[in-house]
Structure 1
Amino acid sequence: MTNRFDFKGVNAQAPYFEGWYVKTTDAEQDFSLALIPGMALFSEKECFVQYNLYYKGKSVSGKITYPVEEFTIVSEPYSVLMPLFVLSEKGVKAHLKDEENDLLIDLNFGDFLPLRQSLFSPSIMGPLEYIRVPCSHDIVSMRHEVRGTVTVNGEKITLDKGTGYMEKDRGSTFPDRYIWAQSNSFIEDEESALSLAVADIDFNVFDLTGAIAVFHDGIKEHRFASYQGTLCKVTMDENLEGYTVYLKDYSKSLKVKVSLQHSHELIAPMSEGMDYPIKETMKAEIRVTFQEKNKQPVYLTSKNGAAEAVNWDN
């Protein structure tokens, strides 16, 4: 099966974007860092690294842009390169500096926890992987160890018990409307991991709302997806500061309640441009109830999840 980390847009033509979402969490230190390196071929061509960091009640975020010619892939070891930025499956080394912040990043990754693959489901997209859709989603690793250091404006943070997550997106545009949530730092079970997305999908002749989610209990992957017959319901809070997702199929169910407080702005590819502002929180409280048929339910809570809700108001 295809390595889901690898860059897929070698011969891509505009409009096109491809980016990685690289997250590290250390719940004991109240630390979360998301790095979003990528490239975009729209009317303006660019490569970039976005960052969103939360540490002990303080948040910093930003985007650093380079000419698209500065985006390079090398094969040994397979790595994504930009000025003062290197990402591989082994780690990330970077110096990100803008007018407001100065970040030095030196992180090493442990073994990835990938998703199951088959001819029917080579990725989380299932059979939709074989169809050209506006945005293809990938999960590279549900969970892996992270060790190293991050220096934020002169303050050095050492990570000995970091937990990592990685996903990817590629295509011509993000969905007009979607929600997304992720965590692998649950208080009750440090081995469990969650990733979910619900989005409107444009097939040109018709639109539909599709759901994809994975709950990994540390031993087994439990997948929920519209292409498998999963039923999905989303309820936004009245103040739009949170939402609840209900997923159910013939043998299992998943309820995920998400808080959207402490959000900060990122930029997403939308309508053939890399300039659409969205809000993401790195400090989401996520409550999970997972139920398998004839088994006791699993209840989990995370206070260091990540979440978004874009143009979703029920």
Structure 2
Amino acid sequence: MMIMGFFLGTKGTGPYFEGWYFKHQNTRGQTLALIPAFHMDREGRRTASLQIISEDQVWWLEYPEAQLQVSQQPFQVQIGQSGFGGQGIELQIRQDGLSLCGSLRYGPFTALRSDIMGPFRLFAGMQCAHGIISMGHPLEGVLELNGEGLDFSGGTGYIETDRGRSFPGRYLWTQCLLDGPERSSLMLAIATIPLPVGGFTGCICSIFYNGEEYRLATYRGAKIEAWSSSGAVIRQGKYRLEAELRSERRQPLRAPVEGRMERTIHESLCAEVCYRFWHGDDLLFQYTAPNASFEYSSTE
């Protein structure tokens, strides 16, 4: 299981960022995501941040480096009085216009057998690398957000991470929890990848469905047939995945540019996305997710 082995922390030089995306969804579809992060610019200025995303609002909190603590064994990120780890999260946040308190306990993680980046992880100088910590895990506990109780007991969580210097200039990312007899989920990312000489557009995708992982990726021969702000189609051999955005509620988030959190991107935490997954003429599943996460951003 990949947890924290990539954290550069204060020992390296900038620009650098690393963030962890914790998504929680309960049985009624209520969803909350939190992104603790560390960032360091070219001048060596180091800060930490926490972005909180609800279905209809976002908050940005910045902290001095001294209020960030990260341990690898066990996995734990502490920012201010809030902690994020492999066993769960504990939140104590009270600031103007925001009160978020409570704790959630995590059950066993659904980890991938190998790094989602494949051989791309060996590319020196990549501006951004992606990692999946858990495709899905059970939740127990209650959070209180500005006086509203959010009971996540019986719900499902998802955790991923990004690290590098900057987000790609153009990218698409979508993630959802799939209905089914077993805990199932999907993550798809497509991005333009600049290299010292040239570059390319690549994709990584993991579909964990009925206890089995389907991996579609450029390094396995996947082809991107279409991608835009309205969705994507990728094909790998006889497998074909379609992601069609049907409606969204975009909210602004901050993203890194050379270690500085100065780019504005937009994420829909609860978009309606229709996913179709084929093997030849056999439709393995079609699922319209009312609480899918979806981002498309382009600086081109």
For normalisation by structure 2, the TM-score amounts to 0.92
Q: Secondary structure at the residue paired with 2:167?
A: coil
CA shift digits 1:238-265 (9 cap, x unpaired): xxxx512111111311111124521111
- Report how many residues are paired: 296
Partner of 2:20: 20
What does 1:165-204 align with in structure 2 at a 5 Å threshold?
165-184=158-177, 186-187=178-179, 191-204=183-196
Contact 1:189 1:300 in 2 (8 A): no
Q: 1 CA distance for matches of 2:5 and 2:159?
A: 12
Match for 1:71: what amino acid?
Answer: L
Partner of 2:59: 62
* 1:208 CA drift (Å): 1.0
Structure 2 unaligned runs (5+)?
A: none
Structure 1 unaligned runs (5+)?
A: 118-122, 237-241
Of 166-175 and 250-259, the range deviating more from structure 2: 250-259
* 1:312 CA drift (Å): 7.4
What does 1:1-314 align with in structure 2 at a 5 Å threshold?
3-10=2-9, 11-26=11-26, 28-42=27-41, 43=43, 44-54=45-55, 59-74=56-71, 77-117=74-114, 123-132=115-124, 133-184=126-177, 186-187=178-179, 191-236=183-228, 242-259=229-246, 261-293=248-280, 295-311=282-298
Q: Secondary structure at the residue paired with 2:121?
A: helix
* 1:25 CA drift (Å): 0.8
Contact 2:143 2:151 in 1 (8 A): yes
Q: 2 CA distance for matches of 1:74 and 1:9?
A: 11
* 1:146 CA drift (Å): 1.1
Q: 2 CA distance for matches of 1:187 and 1:88?
A: 26
Partner of 1:120: none
Q: Secondary structure at the residue paired with 2:2?
A: coil
Contact 1:261 1:281 in 2 (8 A): yes
Contact 1:175 1:199 in 2 (8 A): yes
Q: Secondary structure at the residue paired with 2:257?
A: coil
Q: Secondary structure at the residue paired with 1:161?
A: coil
Q: Secondary structure at the residue paired with 1:227?
A: helix
Q: Cα RMSD (Å) of the superposition?
A: 1.9
Change (3 A) 1:312 1:226: farther
Q: 2 CA distance for matches of 1:16 and 1:252?
A: 36
Match for 1:67: what amino acid?
Answer: P
Q: 1 CA distance for matches of 2:216 and 2:131?
A: 15
